[in-house]
A = this chain, B = another copy of it.
């Protein structure tokens, strides 16, 4: 069983048990994005978390071991995602990438937002004209080292 097969197994088990990512996350004492990314093969769990996930989703020992391994990251399998929901984030990078660069560098100087010391959050924002999705990307600023 490789990591991708485990992810499919987890999704099937979750669907069958009518569970929600957010509820599983609460059980693992992790934020929803961190738990979901772990179960979709993009983050590693601690031994205790992996075991708890296995209980909730009836996974075997091999799965418990796999969930603790650091994965080879990259969830899409394509350079440019074809799925419209995910593509919109690629589009935002294409269209607003230079804007984000300009604003971060103006505020912080030469450096980047870390994608490692990084938190992701997805939330609903009520709006009378139609509710909105708010995705928050929160990463440590890392200044370029001048030496």
Contact = CB atoms under 8 A, between A and B. Distances in A.
A60 interface: no
B88 A113 contact: yes
A122 B104 contact: yes
Given A76-B98, A100-B86, A145-B117, A134 B137 contact: yes
A113 B83 CA distance: 12
A126 B70 CA distance: 23
Contact of A137 (B46, B72, B85, B92): B92
A91 B146 CA distance: 17
A125 B136 CA distance: 12
A44 interface: yes
Interface in A11-66: 15-16, 20-22, 30-34, 36-37, 40, 42-44, 46, 65
Interface in A113-146: 113-120, 122, 124-125, 127, 129-146
A50 to B, nearest CB: 12
Contact of A36 (B83, B103, B146): B103
